[in-house]
Amino acid sequence: MPSVMLRKREDGKLLFYVPKKDLEETIESIEFDSPDKWGGEVVLGDGSRYFFEVLDTPPPIPITLQAKRVSGE
């Protein structure tokens, strides 16, 4: 369960940053992204998948959250 730092890039895309791994990737898609539900599975620019706990409201960005790695098919 890596700690993930989320921040917005200038073009509005979310950046997914894992300090320990030097992984900085854009988030290409996120399962739930509406005012009353946020989180779920995210797909990164390099194709890897992670899972965030589903929240009731979108978190304030930037923020550090715990993510779970979703193993590939």
Cis peptide before 59 (omega within 30 of 0): no
Which SS3 state, helix, strand or coil, does residue 8 take?
strand
Shortest Cβ 6–another protein spacing (Å) = 9
Name which of 59, 15, 69, 63 is nearest 33 in CA terms: 59
Comparison of 45 and 54: residue with beta carbon closer to another protein: 45
**Footprint of another protein (CB under 8 A):** 5, 7, 17, 19, 22-24, 45-46, 62-64
Between 21 and 56, name the residue whose CB sits nearer to another protein: 21
Asked if 15 and 63 count as a contact pair (C-beta separation under 8 A), the reply is no
Judged by CB, which is closer to another protein: 24, or 33?
Answer: 24
